[in-house]
C-alpha cells in the first residue's frame, strides 16, 4: 500500500521499504536517531527527497492536505490550537464510540485542553487522527504516556484498524509491545534505517 | 500669518539637556540604554538637519524626478528600519525585502491618493505636500508593519505545535496559519487604533501643532490632521496586510509545510 523508495533528507540516510495493507512495522532506535525525521518525512511535513507512493500513486501528484488525511502522523507530543477538547474534532459525536474505547467520556468535549493530563491528550490526539479514517498510521510512541490498562485499550483499537486493512509504522521502546503488535521491525540508528529480524 | 517664533541653536542645545538627563538616569539605574539614547538623539539631529537641506533643495527645483528619488530613499530607509526591529528575520532577500515592499505598497498608494484625491496641490507632486505627507505615513506605517512581521514570526515559532497539528490532520496552510495571521494583524493595527482614539483628547499631533504654531487657524489644522490620520490608517492597513500575508506565504510552502527553517535564529 505505502511504497517508500530512496527517501532521504539531512539527518536521514536514504531508506526504502514497502508497507502493505494490514501490516504493522515496529520502529525502534535511540533518541535523536532519526525516528521522528522518518515519520515526518513520510507525512511530507519537512522538505525531503525520494519517492513515496500510496496505492501506486506518487504523493507529488496528491495535494499535501489530502495526503496527510490518508497518511496520518500522530507525534509523541500533540499540538492543540483551540481552548476546549471538542473544538479539535470535526464531528465530536461521530468520534464518541472511538473515544469510549479509549476511556474518554462523552462530556470531555467541554474540557479545557490545559486541564487534560498527558495520557488523556495522547488518547485524544490519536482519536482525532483516527477519526479521518487514514489508510496509513505513523505512530510515534502512541502509548508512551499511558498506564497498562489504557495501553491495552489503545492497542486493541489500533490492531482492529490494522486488521481492517490499515497499515501502521509504530515507534515503540517497549520490545514486548513491538512483538505484540508488529510482524516486521525497523531499527533506526544514526540516521540509518535497517530492517531487523527482531527488536 | 508669519508671526511664528524662530528657534536658535542655543534654544535646542538647552532642550537637549533632557536627553542627557535620560542618559544619566540610564547610567545610574543600570538600564544600559544610554548609548542607544545618545546615538538616537544624535541621529535625529543629523537626519532632520539633512532633511531640512533636502527639502529646501527639492522646493527650489520642483522636479517630479527628484521628489520621487527622495520618496524612494525614505521608503528604503523605512524598510531597513523594519528589518532592524525584527527579533527573527527571514533568510535571504526576504529579510529586507518583505518590510520594504509592503511599506512601499501601502505608503505610496495612500500618499498618491492623498495628493490626487484630497489635497490636490498644483502640480500634484509638489514636494512641499508630497514629502511631509509620505514622511508621516511612513513613520506610522513602519511601526505597524514591524509589529505585524514580529507578531507573525514570533506567533509561528510559539504556536508551531498547534499549526503543525492542524497540518497533520489535513488542514491547508491557510487554515493552519489563520490564528497566527489574525493575531499578527491585530497587533499591527492596534497602535493606529489607539492613536486615533486618544488624538484630540490626550495627544495633539505634531503636524497639527506645527500648523497652529505657524499661524494656521486651529479648525483648518484639525482638518489636515483628520485627513492625515485616515491616510496613516490606510497605509498601515495595506502595508501590514501585505507584509503579514506575504510573510505567512513564505513561512509555508506549496506542500503545506511550516517552514521555520526560513527564519534566522533569534538575535541574542
**Structural domain includes residue A129:** no
Chain A: closest CA distance from residue B162 (Å): 4
Residue-wise pLDDT for B227-239, tens only, equals 999 999 999 999 9
Nearest to B165 among A46, A66, A80 (CB): A80
CA distance A199 to A27: 8
Chain A: closest CA distance from residue B141 (Å): 30
Instruction: Please report the pLDDT score of residue A177 as a whole number.
Output: 92
Chain B environment of A128 (Cβ under 8 Å) = 169
Checking DSSP bridges between strand A184-189 and strand A136-140, what pairing results, if any? unpaired
Chain A: closest CA distance from residue B166 (Å): 8
Contact (Cβ atoms closer than 8 angstroms) between residue A5 and residue A163? no
Q: Which residue of A has its CA nearest to B171?
A: A65
A59 pLDDT above the threshold of 80: yes
Does the complex come out with an ipTM higher than 0.90? yes
Alpha carbon A146 to chain centroid, angstroms? 16
CA distance A176 to A30: 17
When pLDDT is averaged across residues A49-73 and rounded to a whole number, the result is: 94
Chain B: closest CA distance from residue A107 (Å): 23
Q: Which residue of A has its CA nearest to B175?
A: A65
When pLDDT is averaged across residues A50-72 and rounded to a whole number, the result is: 94
Domain extent for A41: 2-79+135-196
**Structural domain includes residue A109:** no
CATH number of the domain bearing residue A164: 3.40.50.300
Helices vs. strands in chain B: H and E counts, helices first: 10, 0
Question: Which of A1, A55, A56, A7 is CA-nearest to residue A25?
Answer: A1
**Structural domain includes residue A102:** no
A32 pLDDT above the threshold of 50: yes
Give buried/exposed letters for A39-53 (b at 16+ CB in 10 A, else e).
Answer: bbbbbbbbebeeebb
**Structural domain includes residue A49:** yes
Instruction: Please report the pLDDT score of residue B206 as a whole number.
Output: 83
Q: Which residue of A has its CA nearest to B174?
A: A65
**Structural domain includes residue A37:** yes
- Over its C-alpha atoms, chain A yields an Rg (Å, rounded) of 16
Nearest to B168 among A43, A46, A80 (CB): A43
Instruction: Please report the pLDDT score of residue B1 as a whole number.
Output: 44
Instruction: Please report the pLDDT score of residue B210 as a whole number.
Output: 87
Question: Which of B11, B32, B139, B7 is CA-nearest to residue B81?
Answer: B139
**Structural domain includes residue A126:** no
Q: For residue B5, count other CB atoms closer than 10 A to its CB.
A: 6
Q: Kindly state whether A10 is in contact with chain B, defined as any CB-CB distance less than 8 angstroms.
A: no
C-alpha cell at B129: 505636500
Residue-wise pLDDT for A86-116, tens only, equals 999 988 988 888 999 999 998 899 999 999 9
Question: Which of B164, B166, B1, B263 is CA-nearest to residue A90?
Answer: B166
Question: Which of B207, B231, B232 is CA-nearest to residue B220?
Answer: B207
| Residues 6 or more apart whose Cβ sits within 8 Å of residue B178 | none
Weakly modelled stretches of chain B, pLDDT under 70: 1-3, 268
| Residues 6 or more apart whose Cβ sits within 8 Å of residue B82 | B99, B100, B103, B142, B145, B146, B149
Count up the domains in chain A and report the number.
Answer: 1
Which of A37, A62, A65, A138 is the best mutation test for B, with the most CBs of B within 10 A? A65
**Rounded (10°) angle between helices B173-198 and B127-158:** 130
Instruction: Please report the pLDDT score of residue A199 as a whole number.
Output: 67
Q: Which residue of A has its CA nearest to B177?
A: A81
**Structural domain includes residue A96:** no
**Structural domain includes residue A72:** yes
Amino acid at each position: 500500500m505505502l511504497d517508500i523508495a530512496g527517501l532521504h533528507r539531512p539527518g536521514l540516510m536514504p531508506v526504502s521499504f514497502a508497507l502493505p495493507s494490514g501490516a504493522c512495522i515496529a520502529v525502534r532506535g535511540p533518541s535523536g536517531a532519526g525516528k521522528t525525521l522518518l515519520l515526518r518525512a513520510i507525512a511530507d511535513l519537512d522538505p525531503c527527497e525520494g519517492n513515496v507512493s500510496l496505492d501506486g500513486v506518487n504523493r507529488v501528484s496528491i495535494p499535501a492536505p489530502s495526503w496527510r488525511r490518508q497518511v496520518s502522523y500522530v507525534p509523541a507530543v500533540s499540538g492543540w490550537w483551540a481552548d476546549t477538547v471538542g473544538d479539535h474534532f470535526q464531528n465530536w459525536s461521530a468520534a464518541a464510540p472511538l473515544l469510549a474505547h479509549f476511556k474518554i467520556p462523552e462530556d470531555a468535549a467541554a474540557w479545557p485542553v490545559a486541564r487534560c493530563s498527558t495520557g488523556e491528550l495522547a488518547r485524544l490526539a490519536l482519536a482525532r487522527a483516527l477519526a479521518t479514517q487514514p489508510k496509513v498510521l505513523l505512530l510515534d510512541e502512541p502509548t508512551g504516556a499511558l498506564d497498562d490498562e489504557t495501553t491495552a485499550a489503545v492497542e486493541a483499537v489500533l490492531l482492529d484498524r490494522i486488521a481492517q486493512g490499515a497499515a501502521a509504522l509504530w515507534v515503540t521502546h517497549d520490545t514486548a509491545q513491538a512483538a505484540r503488535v508488529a510482524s516486521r521491525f525497523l531499527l533506526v540508528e544514526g540516521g540509518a534505517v535497517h530492517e531487523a529480524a527482531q527488536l | 500669518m508669519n508671526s511664528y517664533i524662530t528657534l536658535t541653536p542655543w534654544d535646542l542645545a538647552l532642550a537637549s539637556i533632557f536627553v542627557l538627563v535620560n542618559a544619566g538616569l540610564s547610567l545610574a539605574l543600570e538600564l544600559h540604554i544610554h548609548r542607544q539614547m545618545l546615538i538616537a538623539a544624535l541621529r535625529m539631529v543629523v537626519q532632520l538637519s539633512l532633511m531640512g537641506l533636502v527639502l529646501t533643495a527639492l522646493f527650489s527645483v520642483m522636479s517630479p524626478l527628484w521628489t520621487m528619488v527622495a520618496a524612494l530613499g525614505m521608503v528604503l530607509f523605512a524598510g531597513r528600519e523594519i528589518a532592524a526591529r525584527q527579533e527573527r528575520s527571514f533568510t535571504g532577500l526576504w529579510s529586507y525585502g518583505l518590510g520594504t515592499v509592503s511599506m512601499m505598497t501601502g505608503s505610496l498608494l495612500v500618499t498618491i491618493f492623498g495628493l490626487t484625491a484630497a489635497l490636490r496641490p498644483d502640480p500634484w507632486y509638489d514636494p512641499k505636500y508630497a514629502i511631509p505627507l509620505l514622511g508621516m505615513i511612513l513613520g506610522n506605517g513602519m511601526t505597524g508593519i514591524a509589529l505585524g512581521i514580529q507578531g507573525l514570526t514570533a506567533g509561528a515559532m510559539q504556536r508551531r505545535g498547534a499549526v503543525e497539528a492542524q497540518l497533520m490532520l489535513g488542514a491547508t496552510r491557510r487554515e493552519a496559519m489563520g490564528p497566527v495571521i489574525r493575531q499578527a494583524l491585530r497587533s499591527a493595527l492596534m497602535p493606529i487604533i489607539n492613536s486615533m482614539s486618544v488624538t484630540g483628547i490626550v495627544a495633539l499631533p505634531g503636524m497639527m501643532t506645527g500648523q497652529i504654531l505657524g499661524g494656521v487657524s486651529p479648525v483648518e489644522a484639525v482638518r489636515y490632521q483628520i485627513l492625515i490620520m485616515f491616510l496613516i490608517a490606510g497605509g498601515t492597513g495595506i502595508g501590514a496586510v501585505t507584509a503579514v500575508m506575504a510573510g505567512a506565504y513564505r513561512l509555508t510552502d506549496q506542500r503545506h509545510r511550516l517552514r521555520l527553517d526560513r527564519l534566522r535564529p533569534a538575535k541574542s
